Chain A
Amino acid sequence: MKNIDEISREDYISKLFIDNEHKLDESPSGDLWSRIETKLEQTSLSSGKENLPRTTIAARKGIIMRMVPYIAAASVLIIISVAISLFQWPKQNNTLAESKEEVEDVDLPTAKSETIPIIPSDKDSAFEEEDQRQKIKMLQEAKKQAGKESKNAEASVEKYGLDIITINEKSNDVITMTPEPAKDEEDNSFISRPRAEYNDFSTTNGNVSNSPQIVPRSDYQNQNRNYANPPSADPAMADKIESYIKGKENMSTKKGNESKTQSRIKNKSVKSLQSNQQLDSHLKIFEWLLGQWTDEEEEGGIAYENWRWINANTIEGIGTKIKENNKIFEERLSIYYDNSLKQVFLKMQIDDTKNQVIYMLSSFDTERIVFEQNEDPGIPNKVIFQRHLNGYSTTIAFDQGFLKPAQQSYLDHRNRVSNVKALRILNRSEEK
């Protein structure tokens, strides 16, 4: 049976060119050989120069080799001296403690006087008492202020849709934070910081530290975040996305060119969504992604990617690579809409450090969806999802730099990786 590749070389145009291609053979200009010769000589000269540093390196290496015994002896001495000093340390501490005890014995008769306590336990208890007094004082002040400012705070909450912080009065030490669900409407002149910064709120002495702050958009932009008109930050974007989707749906019903497999899997995904919850309108452009994707032609193993919805605001993709029935690689990607930031983000790993990199949706059209980041110059700045006839590709691109070896080795599990980008090409899996 003939391969389809061979058949498509048998058309008239292909034959015409194959039969006549030899006519292009032509001797190049006479000076071409002299140019090649010159370049070869230049290369041999420069390669001769390259030998010089090698000699230096070899010589330096020899010096280092000769110094090895001395370095080893010096390091042994250092280790011994450090060990001795560490060994001596507890003894010195014991001596100090003994001398303290002696002092305590001497001071016992005057313990009732109002001198500063030098016994550690007394000192601690005094500090604790002072600390308690401070806490009570601060709590009282906070209550007073809360009473005064409650009206203003309520007004701010209504205006900006902030999370309300309530103080549980029953407990003296614990402050509980009860965020209310964010409101849909937002004053567009404000934008809050990324959610990641809110995760480590802590309470210290009754004060909320590292509390979320609302930063005016102008200030926010000054913080080295210069995404160029992210579409999802645009308040009108939801409407645009919806109209885009509606238009696309109309087109697809008119054309009816979607394959049966694709529509079956898509319908399945949509049904599962409708049964519980609707996908947020900002994530509708990713609906086609839901389902199973595979690349069975992959040489280092079979690559799978399974995209599913987690909740109305999040979809998750699990990429795996199977080789000889063993899972040799797994990664998780999630695309989510952040209600507070009004933006769509992609979260994924770039290397083995388990650190998640967050990319923000920067543009999309019928062909491709682009996520970008410019906060960390050491990681790829762009992730592109591009749809194909029966599949899609993910490109992780580094426009202003080169992938580090750790990143390359992690991303090597994708189909192809160069020093500036990694590419995975997947096809829609047939439903079994």
Chain B
Amino acid sequence: MILSEQELLEGCRKGERRAQKALYDKFSSKMFGVCKRYVKTIENAEEVMVEAFCKIFQKIDLYSGQGSFEGWIRRVVINEALMFLRKNYRFNEHIDITEVPVQAVHVTIEDELSAAEIMLLLEQLPTGYRTVFNLYVLEGFKHKEIAELLGISINTSKSQLILAKKRLRDLVEQAAVIRTGGNAEA
């Protein structure tokens, strides 16, 4: 029997294990994908998942019912991932880069990336770049919000995003060259 979102919520609020399991089954795949983007290894991603879902079940009363329930869960998972990163990485220890050369990039590969390619690309980014890129491009946060979340300046957030994109462009270009056997336009 499939429970509706409302029934799931009610069950979780009452602490029913069956409802909690159903909620986990419904969102775990998507949230695991989110975790993998932020932390580098599967083990760490699972650790974040455990902490995040425990928090979701314990704090479910804080979800007011307004806005997307999935969005709320996603936000909890992201917060947990950032907490995990903060324990192991200092976001504010780097040098701001004021001048970043911007070049026109022409990539001739098809607009498709496999999951493995995405992970490979993201893994090659330093933690700071990857986190800002994730938060800005894929989660839709603004630079001011990112600065507050990571304890860095707005300009740092901006420069890290520029550098992350530049690095990704370079990597995608290389991938294009490999795929097309060196015929891709650089």
Contact = CB atoms under 8 A, between A and B. Distances in A.
A39 B137 contact: no
B89 interface: no
Interface string A367-382: 1000000000000000
Given A24-B37, A26-B115, A17 B138 contact: yes
Contact of B28 (A11, A32, A423, A425): A32
B143 A24 contact: no
B119 A32 contact: no
Contact of A19 (B20, B111, B169): B111
A11 B54 contact: no
Contacts of A16: 111, 113, 172
A21 B111 contact: no
B33 A40 contact: no
A196 interface: no
A297 interface: yes
B144 interface: yes
B63 interface: no
Interface string B36-73: 11000000011001100110011000000000000000
A29 B46 contact: yes
A395 to B, nearest CB: 8
A36 B113 contact: no
A390 B98 CA distance: 10
A87 B52 CA distance: 68
A21 B118 contact: yes
Nearest to A6: B140
A23 B115 CA distance: 5
Interface in A10-39: 11-29, 32-33, 35-37, 39
B99 A257 contact: yes
A35 B112 CA distance: 35
Contacts of A13: 137, 165, 168-169, 172
A14 B114 CA distance: 15
A425 B33 contact: no
Interface string B3-30: 0000000000000010011001000111
Given A20-B113, A32-B50, A27 B137 contact: no
Given A17-B138, A23-B113, A25-B32, A43 B58 contact: yes
A24 B33 contact: yes
Nearest to B114: A23
Interface in B132-171: 133, 136-138, 140, 142-144, 147-148, 151, 153-156, 158-159, 161, 165, 168-169
Contacts of A33: 21, 24, 28
Contacts of A52: none
A281 interface: no
A9 interface: yes
A28 B99 contact: no
B96 to A, nearest CB: 6
Contacts of A395: 92
B33 A21 contact: yes
A15 B113 CA distance: 11
Contacts of A19: 111
B186 interface: no
Contacts of B17: 37
B118 A20 contact: yes
19 contacts: A11-B165, A12-B169, A13-B137, A13-B172, A14-B165, A15-B111, A16-B172, A23-B113, A24-B115, A26-B36, A28-B32, A36-B24, A36-B53, A39-B54, A40-B58, A43-B54, A257-B98, A386-B96, A389-B98
- Closest 6 pairs (CB-CB, A-B): A24-B33, A388-B155, A23-B115, A25-B33, A20-B113, A28-B32
Given A27-B29, A29-B46, 8 more contacts: A9-B136, A14-B165, A18-B137, A20-B112, A26-B29, A28-B45, A36-B53, A423-B151
Interface of B: 17, 20-21, 24, 28-30, 32-34, 36-37, 45-46, 49-50, 53-54, 57-58, 92, 95-96, 98-99, 105, 107, 111-115, 118-119, 133, 136-138, 140, 142-144, 147-148, 151, 153-156, 158-159, 161, 165, 168-169, 172
